[in-house]
Structure 1
Amino acid sequence: MSLDNFYSLRENFIVLGLTGRTGGGCNDIVDLLTKEENPFINFDIPNVNINEKQKIKICRDFVTNDNNKWVPFKVIKYQNVILLYLISELANVTDNFNDIKEDKIIEVFSKIFDSDKIKTPRIGEEDKTRSIIKTDITPFLAAKKDILQNFQNIFKLNDRKVNIYDIDNKCGEDPLDTEQFNTLFFGDYFKFCQDFFLIIDKKEPLARQLFLQDAAINLRGNGGIFFNKVQDSKNIYTVAEIIKQIIKVNKKEDGQSRLIIDSLKNSLEINYFKERYSGFYLISSNSDPKIANEYLKNKIENLKSFTQEKIKDIINSLQDLDETHYKINAFKDGDFNSPDIENCIQKAEYYVFKPNDQDLNENRYYSFEFQLLKLIALILKPGIITPNAFERSMQLAFSSKYNSGCISRQVGAIVTDKFYSVKAVGWNEVPEGQTPCSLRSMTDLVEGNERNIFTKYERNEGDYDGKTFKEKVKETILEKFEDVEKFKEDLKGHSCPFCFKEYHNKFEAKDNQVHTRSLHAEENAMLQITKYGGQPLRGGNLFTTASPCELCSKKAYQLGIKNIYYIDPYPGIAKTQILKSGSKRPKLFMFQGAVGRGYFKFFEPYLSIKDETKLRFKITPKIPEKQTAVQIRKLLEKYIDKTDADLIQYLDRYKDDPQVVSELVDLLREGVKNKNVKQ
């Protein structure tokens, strides 16, 4: 039986979702994996230790073998999907593109943003950004009238919507031409989008990013690109569902779908794809800060439209916007249609980091190319290699974070010796013996239940305008509900945990971090060593699913930790103020590799390697005939009478003769023949 079908699901359907900060390397991943020729054929194996070198060789030989035909990835750009909705709205106001005029285009763009709140220039706003519409966008669209009408027909851009759902013509009317759609979307439409966004970039790169931001937020909030204060959570997957249909079209036409979604900035959309496709893999891409800055600088300079002074301003503005998209403040406040890249990065299954040349030459990091080579090899053949020390250590830290009872953020950490032998595990949690926040309900506090899980301060103390902490919490409830019983009814069986630090700080109108109840994951891991018997950590390693804050960084420094591996940078000054000072500085490494759910998807083989090798190549070792003869002779000796000298002498003749098996078969044949004659 052929084993090829075992891997066909992986080979025939791969969807990579990309996420990360601006300049993090998503474009480089796209450039490499969309090449027509296999980009790994000429990959040179670096000078690393022998086992890692063998892993690299195994991956390279598998991915570049002629029998494993390279299939280039196609790209579904998130911004191109948003543009479908813009084209649909433009078709509505321009009589299906027969009347393309400046004022009508302004009408569409001006409805995308909230004019009462904007602080930075938007396309269509009453300032210089309108000149983009007059001098660039309007002439561009007018010249593309026929192409736009073709887009409208093929992509089903009718009634101000994108109607590409009836792929299988279940309704029986005007079916979607999947072949034309597939060819057009990844061909002429892709080029159209590039040209459209380029003309905006040449005038105002920030305005382009803000247009995409506003349109995406609106689509996830109300189902259309126009701003509307009325929002509904049922629209959160609007763009994701269109991407799903595009994937379905591609799969139907190409048979073997290998797609990249570039890029995802909302964690709920990521959950959508994770739950829908087993062949979906979320890749977080990051790069050395110098590389990220250089990427932005080169990108703006290549537009050849701005002075050096203006380029600096643009870069600063784009980085500020990126920081806004990274933070999750709006998301925490219930604006689930907003970008939350920090959450997206935490949900990744494979982390790619693009190092600078110095780090690469010193073998501090794996090369960008090898990280992608390894990714493709593990997708196509899970378990083709085993995890490295960094991956198995970070996986343990990642798994441990789910023990955390912190209701704000779960973080895991481990500490190892210099040989990556795990010495302790930790997660952000209250001291042993106390009850974590996730198990404490606000209703129990105000009603005086379960007294032992609340502190003396929470039950009876505090002075906030003459009221205790407990009284202030009850007051907070009564601001929204007529009484506590009504509040309990509205909970519908859910617990209502609360964060002491948040409430205490709000009641005092301060922002003091010392009032957190939990130990940090890193300090918890380090304290476990002392708690259960000291072991030296000097020269060891710290793995954390976040990155150490200032306080944990000082502890790691004092313990002599040599290397710190992290997934997401801490927003404070721990790196530059603490870890980059003194003579015994720990080395910091952005994590590279598989973790989380992806760890098992990548490293769990379909069959044991031994069994697959036997089945695939039909190669098994055989016992030499001479050894078989010895075993047969020993077996027969148990049943031979020691006084039968003739038989013993006969067997002795074949003691070292490999032909004894054949001789014995001949004797058996003769015996059967003689027996038949007698009968």
Structure 2
Amino acid sequence: MSELEASGSSGRVSLAEPEHKRIDRLMDRGDELRAQMERGDAVALLGLTAVRKHRTEYNIARDKSLSTDDAAKQPAPATAYIFHSLKHPSEVYMLRRVYGRLFLFLSAYTPRQKRHEALCQRIKRTSKDVSEFHEDANRLIERDEKEADNHFGQNVRDTFPLADVFVDAREPRELRSQIDRAVRLVFGHPFVTPTADEYAMFHAQAAAMRSADLSRQVGAVITNPEGEVIATGCNEVPKIGGGAVWEGTAEDAEIDYRDFKMGFDSSARWKQKIFTEIFERLRSEGWLSPEKSKLDLDQLVDLALNGKGAPFKGTRAAGLLEFGRVVHAEMHALTEAARRGQATRDAILYCNTFPCHMCARHIIASGIRRVVYILPYPKSLAKELYANEIQVDHERISSIRSVTFESFVGVSPNRYLSLFEMPERRKEENGFSVEWDPGNAIPKVHEDISYTKREIEELHDLSEYVRGLN
């Protein structure tokens, strides 16, 4: 994708320049293209163009009688296209709109420390000034994760968790094995079954669907060391008598006080009250400018939190967690285990979102030994507040026992059913199990060729953009 980005730009990137400058320029090119087109998927559209170009050339080489249009419409047999790599969530959404289930998104996980070391080595090989390559590597990794206040900037942090399959890229041999397994699943191997982590995370995602929270749906599952589910939870307002309300239950309907029933998010309301109190004090003590002092408190708070250049937007103060009415999914699962008399010592907690620092303290206290998550949660201070008690993503090696927080590896819950569902048959008529033949295997998921029309629809904006440049 970077090569397409560079070759399609007005200023070609020199591959001979220092590595950190080369990466910066490529990032700049991507940001510029996304901003100019006002589409987060702009760079991936270049990939669509390359796919259609290859398909056209491939089909014409096989059949010289084909017109360019007809050649572009016909799928190239036994061909897969790799988009390497995606940096914005909109790219994933667009490719799913176009190709449906034929699009398989893999996210390769590596701990930040290892990524930093690898990038340092790349920069060191191409730069004469090696004194600042550690700083350059850190800056590039942070920019890659998410560019602050830039809707069309790099955003791997929000793109990574959208994957269909997550693989661990720390060890090449293990990585190859995981990718091989994913390919066997896609091509309908009848005897690849879920791991304990995949099974539990699917249940966690199912639990999340119970939540009617106004902000997000979070689900958690606790299993014993053998992989048996002992408790589930979602982020929801607690129910009198324990747990959370069930939809369609007459008894629960009488005590249903979920936030959407109340009509507001208590966290947002209390945030408004807190900042109103702060500005009231600042004004009474003369700390505000004469211009700002003339505004009423509601205007001041709105400008500070939501206005252009809002100084408090995105701050820790604006993201306080303790004023919400919902029980977090992890706490919901822990309290369910307590109500049912299920021990949590040495248990495993699966959550579709990284636990906040308030949940982390209870996870540690409950004896949970391992936490597995998919989505990041930037507001969490768990790592900072419990640096000795927890270890996040294998970032340090220590002989001291700690609770491990690990990125999920395996088939994502959103592809669990389609990839693990039993194929048409697993045994022959004589009762013997079928033999899977990789040479003749076809993808388990089928789509009609209408995706070639959807490519054209998505490429319309890119065509208009290119015309505007000429």
TM-score range, shorter chain: 0.5 to 0.7
Quote how far apart the aligned CAs of 1:262 are. Answer: 0.8
User: Which residue number corresponds to residue 217 of structure 2?
Assistant: 410
Q: Which residue of the other structure, out of 359, 375, 383, is the alignment partner of 2:182?
A: 375
Does residue 1:243 correspond to 2:47, yes or no? yes
Contact 1:288–1:356 (CA under 8 A) maintained in structure 2? no
Does residue 1:261 correspond to 2:65, yes or no? no
User: Which residue number corresponds to residue 33 of structure 2?
Assistant: 219
AA aligned to 2:6 is L
Contact 1:382–1:605 (CA under 8 A) maintained in structure 2? no
Q: Secondary structure at the match of 1:431?
A: coil
Question: Please, what is the CA RMSD of the aligned residues?
Answer: 4.1
Structure 2 unaligned segments of length 5 or more: list them.
Answer: 59-75, 240-254, 282-294, 307-311, 392-397, 436-470
| Counterparts of residues 618-657 of structure 1 (less than 5 Å) | none
| Counterparts of residues 197-596 of structure 1 (less than 5 Å) | 197-200=14-17, 202=18, 205-223=19-37, 232=38, 235-252=39-56, 253=58, 254-277=76-99, 278-303=101-126, 305-325=127-147, 330=149, 335=151, 337-355=152-170, 367-381=174-188, 383-432=190-239, 435-437=257-259, 441=263, 464=277, 512-531=320-339, 533-568=340-375, 571=378, 572-574=381-383, 576-580=387-391, 584-596=401-413
Q: Secondary structure at the match of 2:212?
A: coil
The CA distance in 2 between the partners of 1:382 and 1:509, in whole Å, is 51
Between Structure 1 and Structure 2, the one with more helix by share is: 1
| Counterparts of residues 149-188 of structure 1 (less than 5 Å) | none
Change in Cα spacing, 1:413 to 1:423, as seen in structure 2 (3 Å) is same
Quote how far apart the aligned CAs of 1:380 are. Answer: 1.5
Q: Deviations over 1:472-524 (max 9, x none)?
A: 999579989xxxxxxxxxxxxxxxxx9xxxxx999997653322333222112
Quote how far apart the aligned CAs of 1:311 are. Answer: 2.3
Q: Secondary structure at the match of 1:565?
A: strand
State the TM-score, normalizing by the size of structure 1. 0.47
The CA distance in 1 between the partners of 2:171 and 2:91, in whole Å, is 32
Does residue 1:608 correspond to 2:419, yes or no? no
Q: Secondary structure at the match of 1:257?
A: coil
Change in Cα spacing, 1:541 to 1:615, as seen in structure 2 (3 Å) is closer
The CA distance in 2 between the partners of 1:404 and 1:306, in whole Å, is 54
AA aligned to 1:241 is L
Q: Secondary structure at the match of 2:80?
A: strand
Contact 1:550–1:578 (CA under 8 A) maintained in structure 2? no
Change in Cα spacing, 1:510 to 1:272, as seen in structure 2 (3 Å) is closer
The CA distance in 2 between the partners of 1:299 and 1:612, in whole Å, is 57
User: Which residue number corresponds to residue 250 of structure 2?
Assistant: none
State the TM-score, normalizing by the size of structure 2. 0.66
- Aligned residue-pair number: 368
Contact 2:146–2:156 (CA under 8 A) maintained in structure 1? no
The CA distance in 2 between the partners of 1:295 and 1:287, in whole Å, is 11
Change in Cα spacing, 1:435 to 1:212, as seen in structure 2 (3 Å) is farther
Q: Which residue of the other structure, out of 415, 428, 449, is the alignment partner of 1:598?
A: 415
Contact 2:20–2:123 (CA under 8 A) maintained in structure 1? no
User: Which residue number corresponds to residue 82 of structure 1?
Assistant: 5
Contact 2:390–2:403 (CA under 8 A) maintained in structure 1? yes
Q: Secondary structure at the match of 2:104?
A: strand
The CA distance in 2 between the partners of 1:311 and 1:512, in whole Å, is 36
AA aligned to 2:7 is L
Q: Deviations over 1:355-387 (max 9, x none)?
A: 469xxxxxxxx9222111111111112544111
User: Which residue number corresponds to residue 72 of structure 1?
Assistant: none
Q: Secondary structure at the match of 1:302?
A: helix
The CA distance in 1 between the partners of 2:331 and 2:313, in whole Å, is 23
The CA distance in 2 between the partners of 1:509 and 1:256, in whole Å, is 54
Structure 1 unaligned segments of length 5 or more: list them.
Answer: 1-77, 90-108, 110-136, 138-195, 224-231, 358-365, 443-452, 481-497, 499-503, 619-679
AA aligned to 1:515 is F
Q: Secondary structure at the match of 1:309?
A: coil
Q: Deviations over 1:517-536 (max 9, x none)?
A: 332221121112224x2211
Quote how far apart the aligned CAs of 1:300 are. Answer: 1.8
The CA distance in 2 between the partners of 1:592 and 1:346, in whole Å, is 11
